[in-house]
Amino acid sequence: MMMAQRRGPDLLEPPAVRLRERLLEQVESRERSGDAEGAAALRDIAESWWKEQEAWLAGVRDVLSAHHEINNALVGVRGNAQLVLKDPACRGPEARERLEVVLRESSRIQEATARIRDLKGVLGAPAPRSRAA
């Protein structure tokens, strides 16, 4: 999953976008060469495929929206763990160690949800900013 690990504006567009462009270039090429029937058939196929692709991407975006829900829950987990760590009653090394594990692991989850958010952005949906991000 190399694409999901990349961050920032260097993320690639979905390959389907480039494929659609290439298909439409072929349609234009057929039209220029006088093959109107072949061009029309290819255009119909390309547009039908594109509609299916857009529907599939919309479904994927919906699934990837889970990152927002995960981050919202994570805010509560991290916040409560931090509050408990500040509590004088939790000065014992075992309690601190367990809470530090909670914070460390929640940071890993936060990083994973950021990658999901980035992937969602690559797929063409606006990525909502979470309070935990």
Q: What is the pLDDT along the chain (133 residues), one digit of tens a residue?
A: 344 444 444 345 677 888 889 999 999 999 999 999 999 999 999 999 999 988 888 888 777 777 778 888 888 888 888 888 888 877 778 888 888 888 888 888 888 888 887 777 776 654 444 444 4
Quick one: pLDDT at residue 91?
Answer: 72
The domain boundary, picked from 32, 49, 64, lies at: 64
Residue 133 and residue 107 share a domain? yes
Quick one: pLDDT at residue 13?
Answer: 67
Residue 31 and residue 94 share a domain? no
- Cα separation, 19 vs 12, in Å, equals 13
Domain membership flag for residue 25: yes
Residue 69 and residue 132 share a domain? yes
> How many domains, the chain?
2
Quick one: pLDDT at residue 125?
Answer: 52
* Angular region, 8: left φ>0, alpha ψ -120 to 50, beta rest: left
Contact 130, 71 (CB under 8 A): yes
Domain membership flag for residue 57: yes
Quick one: pLDDT at residue 44?
Answer: 94
pTM above 0.95, yes or no: no
